[in-house]
């Protein structure tokens, strides 16, 4: 113990009230008297302050803390339904609701608020023929919470919710239906008019009911739940959830469907390590998130002071307060945690929870029914997922090995329906949109693969050819049925091939191109040499060939050697080279026209540094990162004259999108730790979607202009 603190509770509340927004106080009402004194022991840790101790109350019903006398604290489970983007929440745990009502009424009488509350309950009884407290008593399962999220564009207080645990979904739905039906009969309104079917995505809908009264939570449970306009209610995971609008409830439900709940949030789990899982009252605030909502709750002077110290405030990870009553003493626990590294709040469209972290670049795949895009991704436990445009996991397929490289879509049956084709080290896989293997797949490879497969459809007629470089130094060619193709006569390579073969067509001629460590192979469709280079050179291990078929000079293939020397290989066998700079053998190379001027730039990513050279080898720009980047950069085309470079720095959980002039694109860097893909989930959308793996096992979807 480092110190003792004594607090006169009622004077403390008076002081705290002076800091609050007066409009908010008018809506919620005064707390009245809380108790007498509190004594807290203070423990100072490296990144936390802990306050533990007891509050004393006499037997007066005027004290708020006495509402929980005679109740046993219970295990907190409400986090299983609260969204992970919760700014703050306050929850009650009540073992005996009827006893709570007796004490609440006495408290309201001492406070002078009982008559107005009883008159309001009587108005509801007259219009519905039902006692709102009795309605709740029949289904209540011990917990209720007032929740504020950081959901944007929902209007004033549109991000306020009340969640009340119920004994079952069926019982909760039954009580809601009975309530609105009873009201409808008395008012002469069809009961079906109150129920709405809300769609989250084409396959996911839920029911919500429009309520004839907006203050039911406070009538059920007291002042803590007052001040909001709760016009709608739904049922999810054995909880009644009240909200201001169907859009607000849709976001709340969507977060639950995606697994974006506090229970799954690692930051929250880490924070609550010092807190008890059992209490009567629990209050939590995510301090970095709460900054944007401060004007709603605090006086202007307080808000301006906190805004001026935003950088310091954002490093306070969270604050929690909980208490448990017993006899005349109430045990209090306060906890404030400091985090030296500010963890940014991601402004995502959705975040979907996977079993483990993303291990591959997510891919956008075509839904052949809707013509929209879906997301295919594998995690580090080798589970393969398909997610729809709303981020909902459609299926998960456990696998034994990691996917090597790209996933291709093919029309196996020639009926317009697409399947997913890819390889792992030992197998070829072909999976339909429902997550089922096609016919004889998976197919065991003749020899373990050393590179991702390549897929060629020479005449665009569905006569697919699957090329796989293998450990025995053969390039095997398979049909879509998984059979070896006869007529392919390529000889073994001198060394193992570690990049997928490529197909280029110039005029009427096809070229199958690949390389091992020291040699380039340019073959025809039957595997016979088509071009023999005048010079062989040691290849950089991460890079393949880029076709340069524009401009005044003949078509050529461009790649790099182990020290970054750029080699240009013409289709008559001639080889030219240039050396913009020296690089390690682990560099990544791209060759692309970033600004659409007809001249391609040389792009190198090597460790912590990105360098881009103009066509004349002059430096265009250089960018240094604080830690090594993922050893691949990707080029993203937004238009013919606007291409950007994407880089990932996994250890910093940062992704970068870099303009052609070397400046970061607006809003970047963003949080992300895997290679990312950019495209449109809906073709009708005016914005692009950026899909990336994030920390805490989430797949993130950002909106990019």
pLDDT < 50: residue spans in the chain: 30
Give the pLDDT confidence of 69-95 residue by residue, as tens digits.
777 888 889 999 999 889 888 898 888
Q: Any idea what the CATH number is for the domain that residue 500 is in? A: 2.40.128
- Site of tokens 């009644």: 240
Residues 108-117 as b/e (b if ≥16 CB within 10 A, e otherwise) read: beebebeeeb
**DSSP characters for 133-179?**
HHHHHTTEEEEEEEEEE--SSS-TTTTEEEEEEES-HHHHHHHHHHH
Same domain, yes or no: 304 and 180: yes
Residue 103, in any domain of the structure: yes
Q: Which of 312, 345, 375 is the last residue of a domain?
A: 312
Domain that holds residue 497: 400-525
Whole-number pLDDT of residue 563: 93
Residue 293, in any domain of the structure: yes
Whole-number pLDDT of residue 198: 92
Residue 291, in any domain of the structure: yes
Q: Do 421 and 428 touch, CB atoms closer than 8 A? A: yes
Report residue 382 as tokens: 């080798």
CA angle 52, 54, 59 (to 5 degrees): 160
Same domain, yes or no: 298 and 410: no
Q: For 154-259, where are the E strands, in sequence order?
A: 160-166, 195-201, 204-210, 232-236, 239-243
Same domain, yes or no: 114 and 226: yes
- Site of tokens 């026209």: 593
Using CB atoms within 10 Å of the CB of residue 2, give its burial: 0 to 12 exposed, 13 to 18 middle, 19+ buried. exposed
Whole-number pLDDT of residue 287: 79
Residue 359, in any domain of the structure: no
Same domain, yes or no: 208 and 111: yes
Give the pLDDT confidence of 19-58 residue by residue, as tens digits.
566 665 555 554 555 555 667 777 787 777 787 777 766 6
Which residues share a beta bridge with 431? 420, 437
Whole-number pLDDT of residue 38: 67
Q: Which of 312, 345, 364 is the last residue of a domain?
A: 312
Whole-number pLDDT of residue 112: 83
Report residue 117 as tokens: 């509350």
Residue 562, in any domain of the structure: no
Q: Tell me how far CA of residue 689 lies from CA of 20, 302, 705, in angstroms.
A: 40, 38, 9
**DSSP characters for 287-318?**
HHHHGGGHHHHB-HHHHHHHHHTHHHHTTEEE
Residue 379, in any domain of the structure: no
What is the rounded CA–CA span in Å between residue 331 and residue 500?
A: 65
Q: Tell me if residue 477 falls in helix, strand or coil.
A: strand
Half-sphere exposure of 423 (CA within 13 A, CB side): 28
What is the rounded CA–CA span in Å between residue 605 and residue 608?
A: 8
Strand 232-236 and strand 204-210: pairing?
A: antiparallel
Q: Which of 265, 282, 312 is the last residue of a domain?
A: 312
Same domain, yes or no: 178 and 283: yes
Same domain, yes or no: 285 and 426: no
Whole-number pLDDT of residue 322: 82
Same domain, yes or no: 150 and 277: yes
Ramachandran sector of residue 247 (left: φ over 0; alpha: ψ -120 to 50; beta: rest): alpha
pTM: 0.82
What is the rounded CA–CA span in Å between residue 354 and residue 342?
A: 24
Whole-number pLDDT of residue 343: 55
Same domain, yes or no: 273 and 141: yes
What is the rounded CA–CA span in Å between residue 522 and residue 542?
A: 19
Q: Do 403 and 450 touch, CB atoms closer than 8 A? A: no
Same domain, yes or no: 285 and 404: no
Residue 428, in any domain of the structure: yes
Same domain, yes or no: 119 and 228: yes
Residue 550, in any domain of the structure: no
Whole-number pLDDT of residue 12: 57
Total tally of structural domains belonging to the chain:
2
Using CB atoms within 10 Å of the CB of residue 229, give its burial: 0 to 12 exposed, 13 to 18 middle, 19+ buried. middle
Half-sphere exposure of 125 (CA within 13 A, CB side): 11
- H helices, E strands: number in the chain: 13, 46
What is the rounded CA–CA span in Å between residue 522 and residue 571?
A: 9
| Residue 243 φ/ψ, nearest 5 degrees | -150, 170
Which residues share a beta bridge with 233? 209, 242
Same domain, yes or no: 141 and 238: yes
Same domain, yes or no: 144 and 277: yes
């Amino acid at each position: 113990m480092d110190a003792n603190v004594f607090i006169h509770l009622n004077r403390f509340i008076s002081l705290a009230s002076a800091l609050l927004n007066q409009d908010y106080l008018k809506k919620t009402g005064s707390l009245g008297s809380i108790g007498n004194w509190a004594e807290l022991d203070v423990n100072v840790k490296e990144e936390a302050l802990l306050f533990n101790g007891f509050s004393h109350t006499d037997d007066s019903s005027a004290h708020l803390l006495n509402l929980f006398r005679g109740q046993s604290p219970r295990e907190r489970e409400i986090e299983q339904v609260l969204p992970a983007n919760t700014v703050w929440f306050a929850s009650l745990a009540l073992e005996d609701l009827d006893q709570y009502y007796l004490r609440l009424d006495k408290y309201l009488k001492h406070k002078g608020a009982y008559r107005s509350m009883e008159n309001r309950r009587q108005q509801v009884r007259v219009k519905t023929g039902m006692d709102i407290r009795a309605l709740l008593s029949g289904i209540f399962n011990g917990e209720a919470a007032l929740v504020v999220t950081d959901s944007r564009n929902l209007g004033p207080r549109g991000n306020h919710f009340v969640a009340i645990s119920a004994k079952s979904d069926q019982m909760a739905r039954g009580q809601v239906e009975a309530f609105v039906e009873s009201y409808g009969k008395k008012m002469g309104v069809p009961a079906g008019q109150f129920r709405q079917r809300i769609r989250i995505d084409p396959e996911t809908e839920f029911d919500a009911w429009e309520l004839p009264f907006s203050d039911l939570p406070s009538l059920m449970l007291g002042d803590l739940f007052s001040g909001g306009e709760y016009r709608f209610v739904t049922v999810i995971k054995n909880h009644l959830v009240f909200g201001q609008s169907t859009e607000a409830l849709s976001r709340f439900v969507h977060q639950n469907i995606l697994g974006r709940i506090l229970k799954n949030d690692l930051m929250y789990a880490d924070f609550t390590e010092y807190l008890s899982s059992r209490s009567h009252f629990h209050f939590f605030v995510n301090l970095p998130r709460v900054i944007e909502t401060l004007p709603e709750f605090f006086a202007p002077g307080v808000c301006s002071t906190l805004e001026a110290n935003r950088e310091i405030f954002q490093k306070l990870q969270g604050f929690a307060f909980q208490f448990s009553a017993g006899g005349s003493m109430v045990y209090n626990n306060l906890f404030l945690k400091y985090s030296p590294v500010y963890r940014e709040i991601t402004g995502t469209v959705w975040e979907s929870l996977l079993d483990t972290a993303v291990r591959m670049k997510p891919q956008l795949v075509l839904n052949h029914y809707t013509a929209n895009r879906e997301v295919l991704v594998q995690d580090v436990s080798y589970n393969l997922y398909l997610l729809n445009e709303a981020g909902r996991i459609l299926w998960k397929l456990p696998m034994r090995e990691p996917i090597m490289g790209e996933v291709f879509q093919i029309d196996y049956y020639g009926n317009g329906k697409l399947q997913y084709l890819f390889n792992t080290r030992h197998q070829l896989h072909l999976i339909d949109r429902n997550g089922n293997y096609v016919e004889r797949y998976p197919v065991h490879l003749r020899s373990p693969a050393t590179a991702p497969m390549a897929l060629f459809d020479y005449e665009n007629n569905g006569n697919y050819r699957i090329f796989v470089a293998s450990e025995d130094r053969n390039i095997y060619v398979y049909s879509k049925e998984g059979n070896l193709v006869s007529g392919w006569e390529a000889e073994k390579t001198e060394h193992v091939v570690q990049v997928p073969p490529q197909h280029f067509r110039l005029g009427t001629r096809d070229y199958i191109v690949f390389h091992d460590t020291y040699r380039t192979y340019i073959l025809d469709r039957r595997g016979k040499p088509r071009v023999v280079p005048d010079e062989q050179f040691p290849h950089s291990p991460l890079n393949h060939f880029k076709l340069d078929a524009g401009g005044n000079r003949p078509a050529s293939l461009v790649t790099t050697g182990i020290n970054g020397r750029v080699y240009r290989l013409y289709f008559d066998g001639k080889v030219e080279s240039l050396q913009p700079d020296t690089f390690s053998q682990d560099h990544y190379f791209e060759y692309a026209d970033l600004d659409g001027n007809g001249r391609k730039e040389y792009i190198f990513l090597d460790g912590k540094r990105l360098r881009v050279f103009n066509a004349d080898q002059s430096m265009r720009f250089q960018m240094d990162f604080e830690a090594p980047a993922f050893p691949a950069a990707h080029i993203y085309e937004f238009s013919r004259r606007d291409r950007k470079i994407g880089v990932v720095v996994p250890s910093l959980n940062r992704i970068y999108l870099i303009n052609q002039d070397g400046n970061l694109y607006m809003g970047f860097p963003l949080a992300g730790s895997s290679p990312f893909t950019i495209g449109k989930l809906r073709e009708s959308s005016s914005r692009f979607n950026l899909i990336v793996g994030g920390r805490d096992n989430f797949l993130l979807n950002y909106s990019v202009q």
